[in-house]
Amino acid sequence: MDVQEILTYVIASLLLLSPATSDPRPPLQEVAVEAKRVEEKIVVVDERDIICLSKNIYFEARGESVEGQIAVAHVTINRVRHKKFPNTVCGVVYDAKKWEEHPIRNKCQFSWYCDGKSDEIHDWKTYNQITNVARKVMLGEYEDNTGGSTFYHANYVSPDWSQHMSLAVVHDSHIFYRMP
């Protein structure tokens, strides 16, 4: 049995022991774990996080270039690594002010989650391509092309918070920022 198989069994066992919650992540039976050796370290990826990251890229940047999609993915990952945000991909993607377990409209970290529109995937070909991008980002195959950004917005809006951030980079129609 190699390291990847052992990790798969261990992590899958731990996930099955996790209590069910009312969060919007996919159910445990859809969980698969992927492990990859990257620069002599093993990266373990939970399939639920790939699904959450894929949905975030799909709804935030499906019309952007692959570089723009990678950038949106890295903002999500950078937030996971930052102490001011939840420490899981799904936690970051679905971070919102809630009332009775439901997100309050326009009070989410990522607008698609609580904009009142359907969160249903309609373009499965694009979604599958985005899932490949999400998986590669999570496995460390794409470097952070945002300079460590934890925020972004579309170039046609000007949120108040952007005045308090350091401009990092622009990809397609998104402007990326680092916290000062």
- Tell me the percentage of the chain whose pLDDT exceeds 70: 77
Alpha carbons within 13 A on the beta-carbon side of 130:
27
What pLDDT, in 10s, does the model give residues 145-164?
Answer: 999 999 999 999 999 999 99
What pLDDT, in 10s, does the model give residues 22-69?
Answer: 445 444 444 455 555 555 567 778 899 999 999 999 999 999 999 999
pTM recorded for the entire structure: 0.76
pLDDT classification of 6: cutoffs 50, 70, 90: low
Element containing residue 99 per DSSP (H, E): strand 96-99
User: What would the mean pLDDT of 102-125 be, rounded to a whole number?
Assistant: 90
How confident is the model at residue 10, as a pLDDT? 53
Please, what CATH class does the domain formed by 3-178 belong to? mainly alpha
